[in-house]
Structures are given as structure tokens and as C-alpha cells.
């Protein structure tokens, strides 16, 4: 079963489309990095998945259930950068409030986690550091014992050390429970540590989706003469080109892992940041999962 499936998903706010024609299947048992610039549609997609918004068109399911249904609410936990933590309440009172709002709750685990993190139960949320508040929000999420954890830029306001500690803590929870995670971020380096599946969205449209290892194996960074670009474009699928004088640097999609590099061009492995920037700079060059990936019946309109 896929963690999230959507077909023809679209959301419009008056005259502005936040999402358009989104066909996507996110497999379970993965840590999925969702990347895109501000206003790309990431938060809209996550809010629909969490049952906080209704789409204008299309369908979306979470773990096979409709968002907002009792089954979906019991199976997912949602952590946003504006986590609903009440500043006037002590941390322990926040746990009790969350316990009363959830059908499933692991009290012992929540208490032990805060103790391990050194977060006093009697300290008011407003007196906690940014990193401690983020950890409290994560504690409430995992104490719910979800199957899918949806996170919308939860580290946006944290300093580098707090971000690093949070990511390590998150991965410990993933390993412990086998969680599926959908993690939205604008910082690619942050996702390189944890994500094994990548989704790139821009201007409300899906640009790139697939397993990280497979995507990296299917792309190369090529360097060579600008004069040779026309010939090269007939031999490889060029995603994005950057010219610097007589030299050209480009992200290319190759026919298959291990395919021969084009003669006369230097070829280097593509990194995750190369992929993200290349597809964001060339929004018409989409690459969605091929037949080997779990996709909805009928598959996406554009395949690799």
C-alpha cells in the first residue's frame, strides 16, 4: 500500500492555482523529501493529505483512506512549522492535552522521550528553546503511534545545531517504529541525510519523483564546449544547461544506469542538489516514476 496516492489533484484559491494536475504515488516505508521554493504548493499538498484542506479537483488517499476520515486521522501525525503548542501550558500539560485528543497514545514513551531530551515537564512551552519546542511537537506526534508522519518544514526557525539534533532524533524514531515519513524542506542538504525518496514540486506542478538512488543513477553532470550542445542534445536528454563563455555545464538524463558517456564531454555524478536545482530551473523537464515504482492505476502522464 502506498503512503499517499493522488490523481489529477488540484487546489485553487480564488484565481490562483496552488496545485495542478498532480499525479503521484509515494510508497510506504520510505522517508520522502518534498522540495520546492516558497509558493510551490508543498504546504497545500501536505494540508490536503492531513485532511486540513479539500481539493478543488482530483483525488488523494492516505494509506488507502480518505483524508479526514477516522481511519486516516488515527494513522497519521502532522507536524508543521507552526505546531499548535500553547505557550502558557507546561510541557507535561501539553502531553495530557494531546493524550485526550488522540485515540491511541503511548504515555510512557512520551514521558521517557522528554526525560531523555532533558525537557522538564513543569517548564512552560513558551520558556522552551526553539529546538525543545520542535522536540516536544515530535514527541506528541510519535506518541500517537502513527504509520505516517507528515512534516511541513518543522525546522524552519531552528539554528543549525538544533536542526542537526532534531534530524538525528527523527531518524531514531523512524528506525524504531518503521515509520513512513513525508518531510517538506527547502534545504536540500537537510534531506540528504534522511531521504531515500524525492519529490520536487514547483509552481503547483510535480517536476520530479522517485527513489533517490535511482534518480542519481539516471542523471549526470556533463561539461563541454557550447559549440557541441546541438549535437549533444540529439544524444542525451538535457534537463538544464548553464553556459559560461565557451563552456557549457548541464544536467542530463541518461537512458539507463551505466550507459556510455557521450564522447568529447566530461561526465561527473549528479548530486541531490544538482537534481533539485536542475528541475526547478527547467520546470518543463519533468521526470516521474517509471513502471517499477508503485503508481496509481493508469500511471502518471509523464514517465521516465
- What's the first-to-final CA gap in the chain, in angstroms? 22
pLDDT at residue 66 greater than cutoff 50: yes
pLDDT at residue 258 greater than cutoff 60: yes
**CA neighbor of 284 nearest in space, from 249, 220, 239:** 239
Is 9 within 8 Å of 2 (Cβ atoms)? no
Report the pLDDT value the prediction gives residue 255, as an integer from 0 to 100: 75
Which class is 2-210 in CATH? alpha beta
Query: At the topology level of CATH, where does 218-281 sit?
Result: Alpha-Beta Plaits (3.30.70)
CA–CA separation, 68 and 91 (whole Å): 27
Query: What is the separation of C-alpha 67 from the centre of its chain, rounded to a whole number of angstroms?
Result: 18
Hey, how many other C-beta atoms are within 10 angstroms of the C-beta on 139?
A: 25
Tell me the per-residue pLDDT of 144-181, one tens digit each, with 9 for 90 and over: 999 999 999 888 778 888 888 888 999 998 998 889 99
Residue written as grid cell 514513551 = 109
Among the ranges given (3-7, 49-53, 169-173, 261-265), the one the predictor scored with the smallest mean pLDDT: 261-265
Burial class (CB in 10 A: 0-12, 13-18, 19+), 208: buried
Confidence band, pLDDT 50/70/90 cuts, at residue 282: confident
Tell me the per-residue pLDDT of 133-154, one tens digit each, with 9 for 90 and over: 999 999 999 999 999 999 998 8
**CA neighbor of 80 nearest in space, from 155, 11, 187:** 155
Residue count of the chain, please give it. Answer: 304
Q: Which percentage of the chain shows pLDDT scores above 70?
A: 92
**CA neighbor of 210 nearest in space, from 43, 84, 35:** 35
- Listed by start position, the domains of the chain span 2-210, 218-281
Mean pLDDT over residues 187-202, rounded? 89
CA–CA separation, 131 and 116 (whole Å): 14
pTM to 2 decimals? 0.87
Confidence band, pLDDT 50/70/90 cuts, at residue 100: very high
Burial class (CB in 10 A: 0-12, 13-18, 19+), 61: buried
**CA neighbor of 240 nearest in space, from 229, 249, 232, 251:** 251
pLDDT at residue 34 greater than cutoff 90: yes
Tell me the per-residue pLDDT of 260-273, one tens digit each, with 9 for 90 and over: 778 888 999 999 99
Report the pLDDT value the prediction gives residue 4, as an integer from 0 to 100: 94
Tell me the per-residue pLDDT of 102-121, one tens digit each, with 9 for 90 and over: 999 999 999 999 999 999 99
Report the pLDDT value the prediction gives residue 289, as an integer from 0 to 100: 65
Tell me the per-residue pLDDT of 285-302, one tens digit each, with 9 for 90 and over: 777 665 333 333 333 332
Mean pLDDT over residues 27-44, rounded? 92
Report the pLDDT value the prediction gives residue 303, as an integer from 0 to 100: 28
Cell numbers describing residue 138: 515530535
CA–CA separation, 156 and 172 (whole Å): 20
Report the pLDDT value the prediction gives residue 189, as an integer from 0 to 100: 82
Average pLDDT, the chain: 88
pLDDT at residue 304 greater than cutoff 60: no
DSSP the chain: -EEEEEEEEEEEETTEEEEEEEEEEEESSSEEEEE--TTSSHHHHHHHHTTSS--SEEEEEETTB-TTSHHHHHHEEEEETT----TTSBHHHHHHHHHHH-SS--HHHHHHHHHHHT--TTSBGGGS-HHHHHHHHHHHHHHT--SEEEEESTTTT--HHHHHHHHHHHHHHHHHHT-EEEEEES-HHHHHTT-SEEEEEETTEEEEEEEHHHHHHTEEEEEEEGGGHHHHHTTSEEEEEEEETTEEEEEEE-SSTTPPPPTTSEEEEPPHHHHHHHHHH-TT--B---TTS---TT--SS--
CA distances from 220 to 115, 195, 276 (A): 47, 20, 13
Amino acid at each position: 500500500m502506498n503512503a499517499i496516492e493522488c490523481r489529477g489533484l488540484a487546489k485553487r484559491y480564488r484565481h490562483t492555482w496552488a496545485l495542478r494536475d498532480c499525479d503521484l504515488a509515494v510508497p510506504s516505508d520510505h522517508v520522502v523529501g518534498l522540495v520546492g521554493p516558497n509558493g510551490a504548493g508543498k504546504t497545500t499538498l501536505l494540508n490536503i493529505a492531513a485532511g486540513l484542506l479539500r481539493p478543488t479537483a482530483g483525488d488523494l488517499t492516505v494509506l488507502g483512506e480518505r483524508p479526514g476520515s477516522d481511519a486516516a486521522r488515527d494513522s497519521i501525525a502532522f507536524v508543521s512549522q507552526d505546531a499548535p503548542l500553547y505557550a502558557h501550558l507546561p510541557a507535561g500539560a501539553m502531553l495530557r492535552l494531546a493524550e485526550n485528543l488522540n485515540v491511541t497514545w503511548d504515555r510512557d514513551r512520551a514521558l521517557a522521550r522528554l526525560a531523555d531530551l532533558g525537557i522538564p515537564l513543569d517548564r512552560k512551552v513558551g520558556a522552551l528553546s526553539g529546538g525543545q519546542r520542535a522536540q516536544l511537537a515530535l514527541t506528541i506526534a510519535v506518541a500517537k503511534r502513527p504509520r505516517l508522519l507528515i512534516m511541513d518544514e518543522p525546522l524552519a526557525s531552528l539554528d543549525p545545531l538544533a536542526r542537526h539534533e532534531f534530524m538525528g532524533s527523527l531518524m531514531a524514531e523512524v528506525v524504531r517504529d518503521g515509520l513512513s515519513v513525508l518531510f517538506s524542506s527547502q534545504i536540500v542538504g537537510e534531506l540528504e541525510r534522511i531521504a531515500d525518496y524525492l519529490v520536487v514540486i514547483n509552481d503547483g506542478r510535480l517536476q520530479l519523483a522517485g527513489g533517490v538512488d535511482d534518480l542519481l543513477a539516471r542523471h549526470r553532470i556533463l561539461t563541454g564546449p557550447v559549440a557541441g550542445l546541438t549535437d549533444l542534445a540529439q544524444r542525451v536528454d538535457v534537463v538544464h544547461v548553464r553556459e559560461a563563455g565557451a563552456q557549457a555545464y548541464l544536467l542530463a538524463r541518461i537512458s539507463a544506469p551505466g550507459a556510455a558517456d557521450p564522447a568529447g564531454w566530461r561526465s561527473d555524478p549528479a548530486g541531490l542538489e544538482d537534481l533539485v536545482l536542475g528541475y526547478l530551473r527547467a520546470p518543463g523537464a519533468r521526470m516521474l516514476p517509471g513502471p517499477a515504482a508503485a503508481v496509481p492505476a493508469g500511471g502518471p502522464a509523464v514517465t521516465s
